[in-house]
Structure 1
Amino acid sequence: MYILGLNAFHGDSSACIYKNGELIVASEEERFRRIKHWAGFPSEAIKFCLNEAQISIKDVVHITLSRDPNANVTRKMLHLVKKGVSLGNLIDRIQNRNKISSVKLQLAEALGVEEKEIKAEIHNIEHHRSHMASAFFASPFEESAILSVDGFGDFTSTMIGVGKGNKIEVLDSVTYPHSLGIFYTTFTQFLGFPYYGDEYKVMGLAPYGKPLYVDKLKDVIKFTENGFFSLNEKYFLHPTQGVKMSWEDGIPDIDKLYSPYLIAKFGNPRHKEDSLTDEHRNLAASVQKITEDVIFYMLDHLHKQTSIDNICITGGVAQNSVANGKILSSTPFKKIYIPPAGHDAGTSIGSALYLYNHLLDQPRTLPMYNPYTGSKYTVDVIEQLLLKHKIVYKRLNDAELYDQVTNCLIEGGVVGWFQGRAEFGPRALGHRSILADPRRNDVKEILNLKIKRRESFRPFAPSILKEYVSEYFEQVDDVPFMEKVFLIKQDKRKDIPAVTHVDGTGRLQSVDKNVEPKYYNLINEFKNKTGIPVLVNTSFNENEPIVNSPQQALDCFLRTKMDMLVMENILIKRD
């Protein structure tokens, strides 16, 4: 049984294929289109997935879409009548609904087949059920509480539930216009970060400030007695104007969300070219703090409601790795699972799993600890590319490769590391990574000068051998997807300054030899030479989606000042 799972007509479009409950392949459309957060129909990802699975669309039995136009219809109509939502937004919603309802036609056009040839049954899986399934059914837990939090999907922003075996029971939800994700995005825009997906910049800026405005923000977002929250609608435009989102040429864009009332209360918004002041830093810290407080409040209530010690967290807000790192110490939960793609891209996987496990009543498969589900290229293909471009290279065995790469890092070099299948999700996890020496105080400057050119307040992350997490971090947990931020132990911060943020934290990836032996062995070789079982790991890109192919990796290497490029066991040094 082949299932094609899709996240379509929304930011972070993606596709995946399951065969009898086993994930064969998954990828985001942005990797092929080269546009961050690409929105629309994931035609290139679909073609890639079918090709990798070595099947045609005629072999697919089920197609799942992580949107259900019929979800919350009554609530939508009541809101439209009550709030008088603008005609333009209503037209946008109708057009989006029509696209969702024409998946077979879109598939036929994309794949060059007739619509009648596509025999697969189409299943519209409600957005947050797709999120919840992407976490629980991929987790190691037989039973778990589940929290899904994002901006909006199918008129819902937050959903809680319980997973048992191959079933998910929804307990409650928060619906439009109240949204923790929209709260965070609104202040992201207000702080001068206008682009879709810029929320991580506020998270990176927050440690530079003090949460002085938390009490003031409590008028913007309020705790409710039922364990959730509500927004003060006066601060926002979306309750009456809707969340207007467009994607010209696939680039997702959200209209301004903050109202004149918010400006009156918090002052003039920062423009993206304006310098950052202490006031901006303090507001970022306050937004982050109250977001964490809301998450912990919901989780405390959920634990009381379920008495279950396991928690699965998903949705766009689950990308807030700072909050994630505090959950086990700030709530009663004892074990946590967050998928590698908690954001909307992961709903392609979630919709397929919800169908297979919950609706078709099929047994669950092994937990997802391996995020490497994307493109892969052979050494022969890479060599043909380099010969075509007349690039001088060496083909090495593993031992030679580890030795030369670690020597380059120790000498202050920056290395592009391209291996195996690309990661699924927003993080580079040792397959499409740029690496550096964590012991250097100047790594941030080196990386920004040579490659990244990004804001100085944004930290770089550590990849650490799994068995050394307890030696370097205050908390001990498996963090395979770089999904949590932990405090680095005080006596270790001087050893790894390049990955120690201003508040003494690091967004770690714990590297498991059984999951990723080659990356593990590289870090281990670095440890053998330096005594430090850590590397700086940032995504292999230059203000673009993470590189997907050898050509893209080579292009990035040639246009930047990277010192070395490694693709599989092929090594290229800059002249």
Structure 2
Amino acid sequence: SSVYHLSGFEGKTAIITIDSRGEYATILLAVGEKGRITKLKEFYDPDSLSGLYAAMTDYLGFEILDGELKVMGMAPYGDPDRYDLSFLADYDGKHFKINNRLISTVGFRRYKAKSRGHYFSPALLEKLGPRREGALVDDPYVHYAAATQKLYEDIAVSLVTHYLYPILKDSGQLVFAGTGSMNVKLNHRLQELPSVKKLYVHPGGGDAGTAIGAASYATACQGTVLKPLRNMLLGPRYTKNQCISACRNHRDKPQWEELENAPAKAAELLSKGHLVGWYQGRMEFGPRALGNRSILANPREDGIAERMNSAIKFRERWRPFSPSLLDEFAPEFLETGHDHRFMCISQEVKEEWREQFSNVVYKDNSTRPHIVTHDSNPRFYQLLKFMEERTGYGIVINTTLNRPGEALVCSPEDAVDLFIGSELEYLIMEDILVTKREETDDW
């Protein structure tokens, strides 16, 4: 419901949801028409495609519910055909069944090592070798990551092709939700299917999006036709005075000054190679920074990704950053034009831009773009226009305003705490510029 009723699609629409567990079904394939959803096929625990990916995430040395995106980022460095992992699941398009002798997808830990349980059995270790430790992208684990990603995509595409092709042949419209929809590589592959003319991925497709699904379903049941989702800026907002109070009341007493034009000042700092925290308006709902709770940088600055990692993000060196760019620049920068308002789908970057913007181009020459229009976020759009004036290109690196293991900042107090506790250079909150006091040797 969250993705169908808010897609804005008219006529028959193919629906797929993929989640580790879901409410009842781990995978749902359905059709939406005239505001009603008709189920075509459901799969249940223990046959969970997202659960398979999570178990392999655990085997590859990462934490589940966090490391899946790391596996996806690691996959382009490997050869997906080096190792065949098809023994993890039986599937032929119509049927899909997990090999539960090797992996657990229902939350039960099957193997214990160093006082810690894991979501795979000793039988998997006999086939693949010990759980990954040490180097991040070494053989064979980097190839296992690539093979896991390929298997995930192959199964999902086979299910869509078998169950949803008649609807797609008719309308070409596909919507996708659930935690599994956060895999932008799968989304790109779905987008490239010949039968798919329009793909809409819910930007809050994880567990939190269930609330949107419940609300949209209840509204639709009352006969109300919902408008398409315009943006995900659904959280709380704070005034300039509240931002000033957060600075005044903080124990470290950061300095601040009022700005006449915050977007212009941000573009000035970014064009000079500085890292800028950008805190504006209503907080984003969902996992992506969409220009209101963001850390920004100039993607053409040499070594800027390494600086962002050392200053605040502390991500693995092979994990890429993503860009926000003006809608008018997107057709020049990206190979094909699709709906990239919410950073949900990867897209190939045109060859002539790959070297110049290498900080936001992934190993496979793709990126996860966020296309900004004046209607979707006027203030962030202004910032990008000022960047275009200063650098020639309306594009920035955009990553979430948080530290590893912490939630996206919400309140001004959260933002100031993060700023003081990191090596972030500048923080712009509404219409004030926040900087740190110079340290002295005085006691």
TM norm structure 1: 0.71
State the AA in 2 paired with 1:235: L
In structure 2, the residue corresponding to 1:344 is in which secondary structure? coil
Residues 223-238 of structure 1: pairs in structure 2 closer than 5 A: 223-226=91-94, 228-238=95-105
The residue number in structure 1 matching 2:189 is 326
Confirm or deny: 8 A CA contact 1:469 1:510 kept in the other structure. yes
Residues 549-568 of structure 1: pairs in structure 2 closer than 5 A: 549-568=411-430
Given the superposition, is the C-alpha separation of residues 274 and 488 from structure 1 closer, same or farther in structure 2, using an over 3 Å criterion? Answer: closer
CA displacement at 1:331 relative to structure 2: 4.4
Supply the distance in 2 between the matched residues of 1:426 and 1:340 (Cα, whole angstroms): 8
The residue number in structure 2 matching 1:222 is 90
Supply the distance in 1 between the matched residues of 2:54 and 2:286 (Cα, whole angstroms): 20
Render the CA deviation track for 1:300-335: whole Å, top value 9, x for unaligned. Answer: 223323233100001111000111122221341100
- Are 1:243 and 2:107 matched, yes or no? yes
Supply the distance in 1 between the matched residues of 2:45 and 2:53 (Cα, whole angstroms): 15
- Are 1:156 and 2:25 matched, yes or no? yes
In structure 1, the residue corresponding to 2:27 is in which secondary structure? strand
State the AA in 1 paired with 2:66: G
State the AA in 2 paired with 1:557: F
Confirm or deny: 8 A CA contact 1:441 1:497 kept in the other structure. no
The residue number in structure 2 matching 1:310 is 173
Match of 1:468 among 306, 329, 335: 329
State the AA in 1 paired with 2:305: K
State the AA in 1 paired with 2:254: I
Residues 63-462 of structure 1: pairs in structure 2 closer than 5 A: 133-143=1-11, 144-213=13-82, 216-226=84-94, 228-238=95-105, 242-244=106-108, 256-271=118-133, 273=134, 275-306=136-167, 307-357=170-220, 360-389=221-250, 390-398=253-261, 401-462=262-323
Given the superposition, is the C-alpha separation of residues 317 and 225 from structure 1 closer, same or farther in structure 2, using an over 3 Å criterion? Answer: closer
In structure 1, the residue corresponding to 2:329 is in which secondary structure? helix
CA displacement at 1:175 relative to structure 2: 1.5
Supply the distance in 1 between the matched residues of 2:390 and 2:136 (Cα, whole angstroms): 42
Render the CA deviation track for 1:37-71: whole Å, top value 9, x for unaligned. Answer: xxxxxxxxxxxxxxxxxxxxxxxxxxxxxxxxxxx
The residue number in structure 2 matching 1:494 is 355
The residue number in structure 1 matching 2:371 is 510
Confirm or deny: 8 A CA contact 1:296 1:331 kept in the other structure. no
Supply the distance in 2 between the matched residues of 1:441 and 1:571 (Cα, whole angstroms): 25
CA displacement at 1:155 relative to structure 2: 4.1
In structure 2, the residue corresponding to 1:448 is in which secondary structure? helix
Render the CA deviation track for 1:478-518: whole Å, top value 9, x for unaligned. Answer: 21110011111110112212111122111110111111010
Supply the distance in 1 between the matched residues of 2:93 and 2:292 (Cα, whole angstroms): 45
Confirm or deny: 8 A CA contact 2:326 2:385 kept in the other structure. yes
Supply the distance in 2 between the matched residues of 1:452 and 1:224 (Cα, whole angstroms): 41
Confirm or deny: 8 A CA contact 2:349 2:361 kept in the other structure. yes
Supply the distance in 2 between the matched residues of 1:218 and 1:385 (Cα, whole angstroms): 54
Supply the distance in 2 between the matched residues of 1:294 and 1:201 (Cα, whole angstroms): 20
CA displacement at 1:569 relative to structure 2: 0.9
State the AA in 2 paired with 1:258: F
State the AA in 1 paired with 2:174: I
In structure 2, the residue corresponding to 1:518 is in which secondary structure? helix
State the AA in 2 paired with 1:289: K
Supply the distance in 1 between the matched residues of 2:93 and 2:417 (Cα, whole angstroms): 54
Given the superposition, is the C-alpha separation of residues 289 and 352 from structure 1 closer, same or farther in structure 2, using an over 3 Å criterion? Answer: same
The residue number in structure 1 matching 2:441 is none
State the AA in 1 paired with 2:123: Y
The residue number in structure 2 matching 1:103 is none
In structure 1, the residue corresponding to 2:43 is in which secondary structure? strand
Confirm or deny: 8 A CA contact 2:54 2:64 kept in the other structure. no
Supply the distance in 2 between the matched residues of 1:560 and 1:425 (Cα, whole angstroms): 23
State the AA in 2 paired with 1:556: L
Supply the distance in 2 between the matched residues of 1:225 and 1:393 (Cα, whole angstroms): 59
Render the CA deviation track for 1:445-487: whole Å, top value 9, x for unaligned. Answer: 1001111112111110000111221100112112111001111
Supply the distance in 2 between the matched residues of 1:441 and 1:187 (Cα, whole angstroms): 35
CA displacement at 1:278 relative to structure 2: 2.4
Confirm or deny: 8 A CA contact 2:402 2:408 kept in the other structure. yes
Supply the distance in 2 between the matched residues of 1:224 and 1:156 (Cα, whole angstroms): 19
Supply the distance in 1 between the matched residues of 2:58 and 2:279 (Cα, whole angstroms): 34
Supply the distance in 1 between the matched residues of 2:85 and 2:365 (Cα, whole angstroms): 26
Render the CA deviation track for 1:158-211: whole Å, top value 9, x for unaligned. Answer: 001111122111111111211110110011000000243320000011111111
Q: Which has the higher helix share?
A: 1
CA displacement at 1:524 relative to structure 2: 1.0
| Higher deviation after alignment, 346-355 or 296-305 | 296-305
Given the superposition, is the C-alpha separation of residues 386 and 355 from structure 1 closer, same or farther in structure 2, using an over 3 Å criterion? Answer: same
State the AA in 2 paired with 1:234: R
Residue identity over aligned pairs, in percent, reads: 32
In structure 1, the residue corresponding to 2:229 is in which secondary structure? coil
CA displacement at 1:340 relative to structure 2: 1.3
TM norm structure 2: 0.92
In structure 2, the residue corresponding to 1:300 is in which secondary structure? helix
Given the superposition, is the C-alpha separation of residues 304 and 212 from structure 1 closer, same or farther in structure 2, using an over 3 Å criterion? Answer: closer
Confirm or deny: 8 A CA contact 2:343 2:368 kept in the other structure. yes
In structure 2, the residue corresponding to 1:484 is in which secondary structure? coil
Confirm or deny: 8 A CA contact 1:300 1:331 kept in the other structure. no
Structure 2 unaligned regions, length at least 5: 110-115, 439-443
Supply the distance in 2 between the matched residues of 1:371 and 1:134 (Cα, whole angstroms): 13
The number of residue pairs the alignment matches comes to 425
Supply the distance in 2 between the matched residues of 1:203 and 1:512 (Cα, whole angstroms): 28
Confirm or deny: 8 A CA contact 1:315 1:343 kept in the other structure. yes
CA displacement at 1:388 relative to structure 2: 2.7
Supply the distance in 1 between the matched residues of 2:165 and 2:247 (Cα, whole angstroms): 59
Confirm or deny: 8 A CA contact 1:413 1:436 kept in the other structure. yes
- Are 1:478 and 2:318 matched, yes or no? no
Match of 1:542 among 383, 395, 403: 403
